[in-house]
A = this chain, B = another copy of it.
Amino acid sequence: MKDGATLTRRGLLVGIGAVGGAGAMYAAMGALGLAPSGQDKEYTPPRPGDFSLRGKAAASVVILGGGVAGLTAAYELGKAGYDCTVLEARPRAGGRSLTLRRGDRLTEENGPAQEVTFGEGVYFNAGPGRIAQWMLAIDYCRELGVPIETFINNNAQAYVHTNGRTVRARTARADMYGYIAELLAKATNLGALDRTITKDDQERLLEFLRRFGDLGPKHEYDGSTRRGFVRNPGMDGGVPIPPPGSLHDVLAAATGRSITNDFGYDQATPMFQPVGGMDAIVRKLEAAVGPDRIRTGVRVTKITNLDDGVEVAWAGGAVKADYCVATLPPHLLAAIPHNLGAQVTSALRTPVPVAAGKIGLEYGRRWWELEDRIFGGVTETDLDITHIWYPSHDYFSDRGVLVGYYNTEREAELYAALTPQDRRRKAVTQGRKIHGDKYGKDLLSSVSIAWERQEHIKGGWVRWPAFDSSFTLLQRPAGRVYFAGDWLTHLIAWQAGSMESARSAVTQLHRRALQSQ
């Protein structure tokens, strides 16, 4: 998931602040300045002999929540033989890593149930849908044997729809880059940079700008084959699309946000997805943990930290364990009676749930491949649907699922308030503005999710007003209760955040369990 929350310049500053000695790290890095492969090198998983070699019995752990954080914690602890029990309130583990297929039934609070009637093999990732190659989710795919394939996050052939106009992404990019290059070349040639950079550097800059903007001999931008063709090159040079509008027109079109969408560290091309659906990761985690250790339909009502363990109660039952790892969303966790203190409750109440919604539109004909010639990728819009995703897999198939909207906050709430039928109707109305009437044809079925209306989840993710002492407080245990979840990391709304956080809790818990008498 995660979109509004792209890593920002601000995020960088918070990060440096939080981590402290960044200067020392820089100094230690050597000349090349290359980022290493990931943080997995820093993690030492619990090992089979950890307890037995010390003559200890494995500790028991009750894990609240069977989402990615809870399952990862159970999986990692299980490597050293911990006696884990995962309590999950929903009928199925996985949390937000939800892939919907034929036969699934999606309920929501105060809304009708939706029956998923997709064709065989068709799926819709209702939660997370993509993985950056540096993220821990890639390591788990490797470790668990989940095959991955490319997720296309940026397609030059997809569209940008802003201010009522639709252009190919490649056209929007070529025009914006072309005019920027022309302007900067003009300013350079007028001497505006003479005090800033040397003449030699100006020459280097101009050489780059010619290439960057595909400028003409006088550094003018008057179009480029990069923009696209009405009839493609072949026996002749083809027929390019009409020349660009003026700089004013291009600026007024406001395509800027769209063409920088994959610039972030977490969104950069290429991205990846498990073959066959994102939930392949949680299914493999479940299998590794052992289905018998996962109790679904258990809604926790009380958490009691004791001197020698933790007691967790629910309607009709209770369990006592040496430790607890609580991975529920913080706003739900805050509402469960506990004896962890007011500071913990206050900290849990600090992050703000964010609404997020998606609709999967199943078509019986991949017209976007056949007619628009778009294979995977994202169309960016300034409409309330925000994005349209085209499937990055099963190309040439008959059926395919478009993500007809993937929005957050106000736009998500707008759609959440509608019935599934009205969400679909509205999504199709918007999509028609981009793709025309075919967007309403060959539509076989749909399913939409409003994450803030999902029972026991109630939000797409959370937003911390600041990564302050409440945030760091919960990164440490309260008594024998540890917290975990993407919400405790700087990778909010990414599965990698849940995994990082689970590893952090497991590391702290395991160190303590080995040291305890």
Chain A residues engaging chain B, CB cutoff 8 angstroms:
7-9, 11-12, 14-19, 22, 25-26, 29, 32-39, 42, 133-136, 138, 141-142, 147-150, 152, 154-157, 165-168, 170-171, 174, 176-177, 180, 183-184, 186-187, 190, 192-193, 196-198, 201, 204-205, 207-209, 211-212, 214, 216, 223-242, 247-248, 251-252, 254, 256-257, 260, 263-265, 268-270, 272, 370-377, 392, 395-396, 467, 475, 488-491, 496-497, 500-501, 504
Contact = CB atoms under 8 A, between A and B. Distances in A.
Given A150-B270, A152-B270, A154-B270, 17 more contacts: A11-B225, A25-B239, A133-B375, A134-B229, A138-B375, A157-B268, A174-B263, A180-B208, A183-B197, A183-B205, A184-B187, A187-B193, A197-B251, A205-B251, A234-B504, A235-B500, A238-B490
Closest 4 pairs (CB-CB, A-B): A15-B237, A156-B268, A150-B150, A208-B256
Contacts of A8: 225
B201 A251 contact: yes
Contact of A233 (B15, B165, B180, B475): B15
A269 B272 contact: no
B152 A370 contact: no
B9 A256 contact: no
Contact of A214 (B263, B268, B270, B370): B263
A503 to B, nearest CB: 9
A394 to B, nearest CB: 9
Contact of A247 (B201, B263, B396): B201
A155 B270 contact: yes
Contacts of A192: 187, 190, 192
Contacts of A19: 231, 236-239
A404 to B, nearest CB: 20
Contacts of A376: 150, 270
Contacts of A174: 263
A241 B392 contact: no
Contact of A373 (B17, B37, B230, B500): B37
Given A231-B36, A251-B204, A396 B238 contact: no
A71 to B, nearest CB: 18
A141 B233 CA distance: 19
A145 to B, nearest CB: 8
Contacts of A150: 149-150, 152, 270, 376, 392
Given A150-B150, A166-B32, A272 B234 contact: no
A17 to B, nearest CB: 8
Contacts of A197: 183, 247-248, 251
B25 A229 contact: no
A233 B14 CA distance: 11
Contacts of A223: 12
A232 B184 contact: no
Contacts of A467: 237
Nearest to A18: B236
A511 B480 CA distance: 84
Given A22-B239, A237-B14, A9 B265 contact: no
A186 to B, nearest CB: 7
Contacts of A12: 223-225, 237, 240
Nearest to A265: B225
Nearest to A263: B226
Nearest to A8: B225
B32 A491 contact: no
B148 A395 contact: yes
B236 A490 contact: yes
Given A9-B224, A133-B375, A29 B242 contact: yes
Contacts of A488: 235
Contacts of A251: 197, 201, 204-205, 208
Contacts of A134: 157, 229, 232, 373
Nearest to A182: B196
Contacts of A149: 149-150, 395
Given A147-B395, A263-B226, A11 B237 contact: yes
A242 B33 contact: yes
Contacts of A208: 176, 180, 251, 256
A170 B11 CA distance: 17
Contacts of A193: 183, 186-187
Contacts of A237: 11-12, 14-19, 467, 490
